[in-house]
């Protein structure tokens, strides 16, 4: 069976082959054709070199005297016999078996052995490395990540999915009982591959079965099938770097590889989100500074998109990080000016970094940060309570906007701030009481407001002349009727409950 070879080996064999064909052509079309047929045989390097050397010997001997038909026929037979003997002396694909997937040079990488030789759970698995066209690879239906979905398909259709259907299962275009639109989270992976290609090489057998990398292959094919990606992105997704096992790899070796890749922890520690956010903010600010003039809102959106592409995130993530870093820097400045070291403030900022999103969350007019300018004391209290973890969640931080609008709750937070260092538990209880109290009073206020609103509706509708409705749009009238019917049902229900209560009394 053919094995992947290095470019140097291929060039050497090609040189011998070209010489053999060139020499053979001098002795007639029969010999030339036989040499060309021999060249099509899938032989390994050693066998190929032996065959072409033998061909050269045969045709060279013809040159010692004038050739005749009998000699040419003998030469043709010798070449055929030699080729047949070599072709049967090495492993060959059985009828119906998959042909080998051939690796190619690409992107500056020449086909080569993977070095050092990979080991999985102490089992050595020799491999070659190179590029393949992803369309020549079909997902593996025995992959344990997809096995439950395959069983679901079999239960519904009474047969195993074919290669195209397996790709559809992975991509979510074939919906099974789970009903998930993107069951293997291929959409974000496809976007990443479109931007930068497949970074970790899938591992395939010499016949092209992927024992590792099903998702990467399916995501790459999704890029090729989708209209949302450019021609350049499709080309990036089409040719992927792979590791290919050598012929003769055993099931034990493959099992060791699969188990190691899926059971062993890689012990990777993710970068802190605070660190990532600062890098994104720094990149955005640097790009703004290089602009020759003050960028318009449209230009800022372009810069956000460019920064997002660089860090493989979404533009809205850039916006979120910019706001969070802005308030994290304000938090740092406050505490450093208060006498704390930058190091201890940085550690605390990183630990509660998500809270800076809560500080600036919500629609305009209901953000905690909007109160800071007019109430510096609130800013100081919240930053102190954040630093020493008197707050227990980001939700409590966000609730400080309601608290700041409620005098009673505000005074409870002031008290919590005063006693937090000596009575931490009591300070935390005061925070909870302040938030709950502010919310209850908001709900009570809404009830009072509804009373006034209902009185206004009664007066307005009662004073409306019958001919005034003729000016209203048909859709508006339909919506009004639907709302009034629903409201009338609620009112009648409440009156019924109250009437029942009166009767029981």
Does residue 476 sit in helix, strand or coil? Answer: helix
Taking only the tens place, the pLDDT of each residue in 389-440 is 999 999 999 999 989 989 999 999 999 999 999 999 999 999 999 999 988 8
Question: Residue 162: what are its φ and ψ, rounded to 5°?
Answer: -80, 180
Where do runs of H (alpha helix) occur along 268-398?
A: 273-289, 297-311, 315-337, 342-351, 355-359, 376-387, 394-398
Does residue 268 sit in helix, strand or coil? Answer: coil
Structure tokens at 223: 């890029």
Q: Give 75-83's long-range contacts (Cβ < 8 A, gap of 24+).
A: 75/27, 75/31, 76/30, 76/31, 76/34, 79/31, 79/34, 79/35, 79/38, 79/54, 79/55, 80/34, 80/38, 82/38, 82/51, 82/54, 82/55, 82/58, 83/37, 83/38, 83/41, 83/51
Structure tokens at 421: 């260092």
Taking only the tens place, the pLDDT of each residue in 82-108 is 665 655 555 544 444 455 788 999 989
Does residue 155 sit in helix, strand or coil? Answer: helix
Gap between the Cα atoms of 56 and 17, Å rounded: 9
Distances (CA, A) of 238 to 224, 424, 471: 7, 59, 61
> How high is the mean pLDDT of the chain?
81
Distance of CA 168 to the CA centre of its chain: 18
Per-10-residue mean pLDDT, the chain, length 505: 47 61 64 62 59 66 64 69 57 50 89 89 89 90 80 86 86 76 87 90 90 91 90 92 90 83 68 90 94 91 91 90 95 94 88 91 86 90 94 92 91 94 94 92 70 74 78 80 83 77 57
Pairing of strands 203-204, 210-212: antiparallel
Does residue 499 sit in helix, strand or coil? Answer: helix
Those residues whose C-beta lies under 8 Å from the C-beta of residue 112, and which sit 6 or more positions away, are 6, 128, 129, 130
SS (H, E, C) 405-473: CCHHHHHHHHHHHHHCCCCHHHHHHHHHHHHHHHHHHHHHHHHHHHHHHHHHHHHHHHCCCHHHHHHCC
Global pTM exceeds 0.95:
no
Which residue, among 201, 200, 207, has the nearest Cα to 246 in the 3D structure? 207
pLDDT at 256: 83
């Amino acid at each position: 069976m053919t094995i992947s070879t290095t470019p140097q080996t291929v060039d050497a064999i090609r040189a011998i082959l070209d010489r053999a064909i060139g020499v053979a052509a001098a002795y007639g079309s029969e010999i030339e054709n036989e040499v060309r047929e021999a060249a099509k045989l899938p032989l390994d390097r050693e066998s190929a070199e032996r065959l072409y050397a033998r061909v050269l010997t045969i045709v060279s001997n013809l040159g010692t005297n004038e050739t005749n038909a009998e000699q040419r026929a003998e030469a043709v037979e010798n070449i055929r016999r030699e080729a047949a003997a070599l072709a049967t002396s090495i492993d060959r694909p059985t009828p119906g078996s998959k042909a080998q997937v051939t690796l190619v040079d690409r992107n500056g990488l020449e086909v080569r052995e993977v070095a050092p030789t990979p080991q999985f759970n102490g089992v050595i698995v020799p491999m070659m490395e190179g590029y393949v066209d992803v369309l020549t690879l079909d997902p593996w239906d025995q992959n344990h990540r997809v096995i439950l979905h395959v069983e679901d398909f079999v239960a519904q259709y009474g047969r195993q999915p074919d290669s195209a259907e397996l790709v559809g299962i992975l991509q979510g275009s074939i919906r099974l009982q789970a009903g998930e639109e993107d069951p293997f989270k291929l959409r974000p992976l496809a976007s990443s591959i479109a931007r930068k290609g497949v970074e970790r090489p899938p591992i395939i057998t010499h016949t092209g079965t992927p024992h590792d990398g099903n998702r990467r292959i399916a995501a790459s094919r999704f890029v090729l099938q989708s209209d949302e990606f450019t021609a350049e992105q499709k080309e990036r997704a089409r040719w992927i770097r792979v590791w290919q096992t050598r012929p003769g790899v055993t099931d034990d070796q493959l099992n060791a590889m699969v188990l190691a890749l899926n059971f062993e922890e890689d012990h990777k520690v993710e970068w802190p989100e605070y660190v990532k956010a600062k890098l994104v903010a720094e990149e955005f600010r640097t790009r703004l500074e290089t602009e020759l003039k003050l960028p318009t809102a449209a230009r800022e959106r372009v810069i956000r998109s460019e920064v997002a592409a660089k860090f493989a995130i979404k533009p809205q993530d850039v916006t979120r990080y910019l706001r969070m870093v802005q308030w994290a820097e304000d938090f740092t400045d406050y505490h450093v000016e208060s006498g704390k070291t930058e190091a201890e403030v940085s550690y605390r900022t990183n630990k509660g970094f998500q809270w800076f999103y809560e500080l600036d969350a919500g629609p305009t007019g209901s953000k905690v940060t909007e109160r800071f300018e007019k109430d510096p004391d609130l800013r100081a209290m919240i930053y102190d309570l954040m630093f020493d973890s008197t707050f227990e969640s980001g939700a409590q931080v966000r609730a400080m906007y309601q608290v700041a609008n409620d005098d009673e709750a505000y005074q409870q937070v002031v008290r919590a701030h005063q006693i937090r260092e000596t009575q931490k538990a009591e300070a935390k209880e005061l925070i909870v009481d302040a938030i709950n109290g502010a919310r209850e009073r908001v709900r009570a206020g809404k009830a009072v407001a509804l009373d006034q609103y209902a009185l206004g509706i009664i007066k307005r509708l009662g004073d409306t002349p019958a001919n005034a409705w003729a000016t209203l749009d048909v859709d508006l009238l339909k919506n009004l009727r639907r709302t009034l019917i629903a409201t009338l049902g609620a009112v009648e229900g409440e009156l019924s409950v109250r009437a029942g209560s009166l009767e029981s009394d």
